[in-house]
Structure 1
Amino acid sequence: MSDIVVSGYYGFANAGDEAMLAAMIEALTDIEPNIKITVISGNPEDTRQRHGVAAIYRLNYPEIAKVLAQSQLLISGGGSLLQDVTSDRSLYYYLSIMMLAKKLGKPVMLYAQGIGPVRGYLAQGAMRYIGNMVDLITVRDEGSYEELKRLKVTAPPVHITADPVLAMHPVDKTIGRSILKKHGQEGVAPLIGISVREWKDWGHFKQVMGHAADKMIEELGAKVVFIPMQWPDDLGVSEKIAGRMKNKASVLPSEYTTSELLSLVGNLDLLIGIRLHALIFAAVMHVPMAGISYDPKIDRFLETIGEKHVGTLKTVTADNLMARIREMWDERKQPNREREDRITALRNKAFLNAELALSLVKK
């Protein structure tokens, strides 16, 4: 019997989503060590090995129905599952799992979701219809709450919490240090990490990132390392940018676990991120960060910690990026206390997600 079934974008080697799942499992088992969790995954074997939980294939609906029938709760999330910008097929898929659980008489919780944008007329109707069936919703930011109101999803209780990963415990830096040493990144020079992603084959931001990385090396005497968060997708774009640079930068070539990535980020003096969870990892490990936006979720997260992005993928410039880096450079020795206080408050809100989920199980 599975007490909780978890539905989300798991088993696809996306470091951010795998970190969310790890964080959810960590928080739930911190409170209830004997809870049984089954994950609906694109790669069940990888999920079993990586997270130590039961897993079933995401398109095996008979098996999903069987496991749901034996469960006490379906969790949908976290992440940006309910949006139709990247694809409306994924939106309908996650809604279908929620509908199946409700048909089987099971409570459903949206767990720290980043809602929207939902633009299509049919997609909005489906969100409104099924969203109003669920039992409890937590969202990771104010923007998601406003999107629910716009979609007229008003029946379930809604709590504004925070991304699940913010509830994770900081990890030891030793593993990250050994990975960096293996790739020639050791010594006393400051280390700046960059996390990028491909987006619609746009070239502007790649030129900007390469130019800015050269400036970091020349002006600040820093070393630069590219850290792929989704493997192997981010590896290719990282290599493209590094290949355009005048100076040498390292690209970490392997796929890493959540703990390894957190440990790597913890060894940085500063992180520049396009990927949301690269920025969140920096928050967990108390590393100064600069974010570049490609999606409202980046803006929303940065706003919750009192920051703004340095530009979008279309508008960012090397000068603006370097100006922000110079502003933050002294934070390596003197942390921004206001931001640290905000992150602590978000950590407590992130842990609330698990407490609310388990309250549904107890009911």
Structure 2
Amino acid sequence: MSDIVVSGYYGFGNAGDEAMLAAMIEALTDIEPNVQITVISGNPDDTKRRHGVCAVYRLNYPEIVKALAKSRLLISGGGSLLQDVTSDRSLYYYLSIMMLAKKLNKPVMLYAQGIGPVQGTLAQSAMRYIGNMVDLITVRDDGSYEELKRLKVTVPPIYVTADPVLAMHPVDRQIGRSILRKHGQEGVAPLIGISVREWKEWGHFKQVLSHAADRMIEELGVRVVFIPMQCPDDLGVSQKIAGRMKNKAEVLPGEYTTSELLSLVGNLDLLIGIRLHALIFAAVMHVPMAGISYDPKIDRFLETIGERHVGTLKTVTTDSLMARILQLWDERKHPNKQREERITMLRNKAFQNAELALSLMK
């Protein structure tokens, strides 16, 4: 018997999505320890091993139908599943799973989703039709709420909560310290982490980050480490940036679990991030962060904690990035109380996602 079936971008080695799944499982089982969870995954064996739950392959529709038939709730989320910018095929896939659940008379919840942008006419119609069939929606930011209004998804109750990962418990920093020591990254010098992703083979942001990293080493006396959130994609772009530097920076080579990544980030004095969940990990572990935007979800998250990005992948400059780093460097001795209060509030909202899911199931 599966009490809950979870649909999302799981089993593909993306640290952000795996962290969202881990956060959902943690929050749901904190409230209801005996809940049975089955995950629709691109790699069921990896999902079972990594998260300790049941899993079925994402294209095995007979098995998905069987799991849904035995369930009491379908959760779709979290993350940016419902958008057609990176791919419209994935949008229709996730909508099809929701439609299957409704055909089986099962409640459906969109769980802390980042909605949009949805641009195609057919995609907008599909979102409006199926979105109005679901039973409950929580979104992780105001921008997603506005996108639902634009799409005329108005029938189900909609709550603005927060990204599920913000509800995770901080982890022991010793885990990350051991990984850093293994790669020769121990010492008294402060440590700045950089989390990047490739984007359309653009070169400008790579040049900016390599120059800024050199300046940080020379002007602040820090060590620099690149932390990949998705392997092997992030590993390649990290190595390209490190290869342009005059000074040495470490590129961590492995694929890490959510707990390991949280612990690694917790050992940093500051994080520079393009990846959304690297920034969210910094928030969970109370580490100052500077975000570079490639997608509205970065802007939306930073706004919720009272911050702004330092530029987009096209517009960021070495000077603007260094100015923000120096500002954050001064904050290390005087933590930003307003930001910490906002993060605490978001943590409570993130936990509300699980409370609403379980109330819907009952």
Q: Same fold (TM over 0.5)?
A: yes
2:89 alignment partner in structure 1? 89
Mapped to 1, the partners of 2:271 and 2:183 lie a distance apart of 18
| Residue 184 (structure 1) shift | 1.0
The one-letter code of the counterpart of 1:285 is: M
Structure 2 portions without partners, runs of 5+: none
Secondary structure in 2 aligned to 1:330? helix
**Where in structure 1 do 4 or more consecutive aligned residues deviate above 3 Å?**
none
Equivalent runs, 1:1-363 vs 2, <5 Å = 1-362=1-362
Query: 1:206 and 1:164 mapped to 2: Cα distance?
Result: 30
Deviations 1:78-121 (A, max 9, x none): 00000000000000000000000000000000000000000000
For the residue of structure 2 that corresponds to 1:228, the secondary structure is: coil
Secondary structure at the counterpart of residue 290 of structure 1: strand
**AA partner of residue 156 (structure 2):** P
Partner SS state of residue 98, structure 1: helix
For residues 50-101 of structure 1, the C-alpha deviation after alignment (integer angstroms, 9 at most, x for no partner) is 0000000000011100110010000000000000000000000000000000
Aligned AA (2:251): V
Question: What is the alpha-carbon distance in structure 2 between the residues aligned to residue 89 and residue 97 of structure 1?
Answer: 13
* Equivalent residue letter for 1:215: R
| Cα distance in 2 between the residues matched to 1:221 and 1:95 | 50
Return the letter of the residue paired with 1:16: G
- Opposite residue 281 of structure 2, the aligned amino acid is F
Q: How many residues align?
A: 362
**Distance (whole Å) between structure 2 residues aligned to residue 216 and residue 182 of structure 1:** 23
Distance 2:209 2:99 in 1: 43
TM-superposed CA distance for 1:286, in Å, is: 0.1
Matches of 1:244 and 1:157, distance apart in 2: 50
* CA distance in structure 2 between the aligned counterparts of 1:54 and 1:334, rounded to whole angstroms: 45
Q: Over residues 166-189 of structure 1, what are the superposed CA-to-partner deviations in whole Å (9 max), with x where a residue is unaligned?
A: 000000000100100111111110
Instruction: Report the 3-state secondary structure (helix = DSSP H, G, I; strand = E; otherwise coil) of the residue aligned with 2:118.
Output: coil
- Residues of 2 paired with 1:85 and 1:318: CA distance? 28
Shift of 1:333: 2.3
TM-score, scaled to structure 1: 0.99
Post-superposition shift, 1:334? 2.0
| Cα distance in structure 2, aligned partners of 1:334 and 1:258 | 29
Distance 2:81 2:183 in 1: 35
Find the residue that maps to 1:154 and give its secondary structure. coil
Output the amino acid matched with 2:203.
Answer: G
RMSD over aligned Cα, in angstroms? 0.4
| Displacement of 1:232 | 1.1
Quote the sequence identity (%).
87
Give the superposition deviation at 1:331.
2.2
Give the C-alpha shift of residue 343 in structure 1. 0.0
Distance in 2 between residues matched to 1:332 and 1:228, nearest whole Å: 24
Measure how far apart 1:225 and its partner are.
0.1
Q: Supply the distance in 2 between the matched residues of 1:81 and 1:335 (Cα, whole angstroms).
A: 34
> What displacement does 1:332 show?
2.0
Distance 2:332 2:280 in 1: 17
SS in 2 for 1:143: helix
- After the TM superposition, which of the residue ranges 291-300 and 332-341 deviates more from structure 2? 332-341
Deviation at 1:330, TM superposition (A): 2.1
